[in-house]
Amino acid sequence: MINRHRLAVPFAAVLAGSAFATSATADEVNLYSARHYDSDERLYEAFTEQTGIKVNVLEGDSDQLIERIQREGVASPADVMMTVDAGRLWRAEQEGIFQGIESEVLAERLPEAMRHPEGKWFGFSQRARAIFYNRDNFDPSEISSYEDLADPRFEGKVCIRSSNNIYNQSLLASMIEHHGVEGAEEWAQGVVNNFARQPEGGDTDQIKGVASGECDLAVANHYYYVRLLDSEDPADREAADKVGILFPNQNGRGTHVNVGGAGVVEGSQNRDNAIRFLEFLASDEAQAIFASGNNEFPVVEGIEKAPTLESWGDFKKDDLNISILGENNPEAVRIFDRVGWR
């Protein structure tokens, strides 16, 4: 049985005590996770079956978990922190949450782009930031890159989330790396000029905006689209059928990808177990669970993807090291503010 806690309304009360043991044990690892997918239970159970090490899980959003670890200080029982998006992993790194580790397994299994240069955190699953188009109203041959979203031809046609969304911040962070600050700002201003409406809602709302004809183009993570395709709600499936997906920049650097990732917490009392857990996340078994559970792309080559993802075939991914997305995050936020992307 997984020892699982969720941080919700009584956050301050939870902070007052420790959810887990604070001393090292031979058969436990304490995971603070900002991932909220039921399929992750299979990861923990598979790790325990393989190693005999029990996984204690505390769930909350990234900021909550960072704050908790900071308040707990040296007494924190946290061994591993796991979250989504390189921007959030970078924020945790900046707050001193992670320690650098060396692992031959991770160095061998994970592509260099998925490894922090100092071993402070690692990417274990990938999510592509794709472009979606209305099948009836838009010819997909008219667009091939993120850069095209800023083309004046698409004025009034683009739906995209607000600038406080970490996925968009990381996308702009990648644009900064490829085009410089000035080029990235010019792009962001162009996208603002092409808004079909002021940003609102989540990724699913952007895709549904395309389906309804509110906009012809949208940007969203690929797995939100798969959820609509596989939904038990006929209205969701009908909306998804009206929308097509394309992976940008295939003739250049490749499509922007972000990660679900994790690192070993500074001061971990179960450091060896924590490293074994990260190494397990890079195993074929864990990679297959990431792929099937939340329709994420594996980071290890040769792992079978979820059926819908397999049907899309292979595509070129941007091999920018994920740590750069965090490093460029503050400048991305400043650019968003300057161009009025709310």
Per-residue pLDDT reduced to its tens digit, 264-282:
999 999 999 999 999 999 9
331 located within any domain? yes
Global model pTM greater than 0.85: yes
CATH number at residue 167: 3.40.190.10
User: How much is the pLDDT for 15?
Assistant: 39
| Residues 244 and 265 reside in one and the same domain | no
182 located within any domain? yes
Per-residue pLDDT reduced to its tens digit, 63-114:
999 999 999 999 999 999 999 999 999 999 999 999 999 999 999 999 999 9
Q: Which amino acid, residue 206?
A: Q
Contact by Cβ (8 Å): 174, 219: no
pLDDT-wise least confident of 14-18, 30-34, 211-215, 301-305: 14-18
Q: How many other β-carbons are positioned within 10 Å of the β-carbon of residue 309?
A: 19
318 located within any domain? no
CA–CA gap between residue 153 and residue 56 (Å, rounded)? 52
| Residues 335 and 233 reside in one and the same domain | yes
Contact by Cβ (8 Å): 299, 124: yes
> What confidence category does residue 292 fall into, taking pLDDT thresholds of 50, 70 and 90?
confident
Q: How many other β-carbons are positioned within 10 Å of the β-carbon of residue 79?
A: 26
Per-residue pLDDT reduced to its tens digit, 116-171:
999 999 999 999 999 999 999 999 999 999 999 999 999 999 999 999 999 999 99
| Residues 76 and 150 reside in one and the same domain | no
Count of structural domains, the chain: 2
| Residues 264 and 145 reside in one and the same domain | no
| Residues 180 and 262 reside in one and the same domain | no
User: 197 vs 1, which has greater pLDDT?
Assistant: 197
147 located within any domain? yes
317 located within any domain? no
**Which residues is 122 bridged to in the sheet?**
115, 262
Contact by Cβ (8 Å): 69, 18: no
| Residues 23 and 98 reside in one and the same domain | yes
**Domain carrying residue 218:** 127-255+323-339
Say yes or no to pLDDT of 61 above 80. yes
> Tell me, what DSSP letter sits at residue 17?
S
User: How much is the pLDDT for 12?
Assistant: 36
| Residues 120 and 263 reside in one and the same domain | yes
Contact by Cβ (8 Å): 197, 342: no
| Residues 233 and 137 reside in one and the same domain | yes
Say yes or no to pLDDT of 9 above 90. no
Paired tokens of 22 = 């604070």
User: How much is the pLDDT for 10?
Assistant: 37
CA–CA gap between residue 111 and residue 176 (Å, rounded)? 22
| Residues 170 and 66 reside in one and the same domain | no
| Residues 106 and 157 reside in one and the same domain | no
What is the rounded average pLDDT of the residues 4-8? 52
CA–CA gap between residue 68 and residue 17 (Å, rounded)? 11
Average pLDDT, the chain: 92
| Residues 179 and 64 reside in one and the same domain | no
| Residues 140 and 113 reside in one and the same domain | no
Contact by Cβ (8 Å): 130, 255: yes
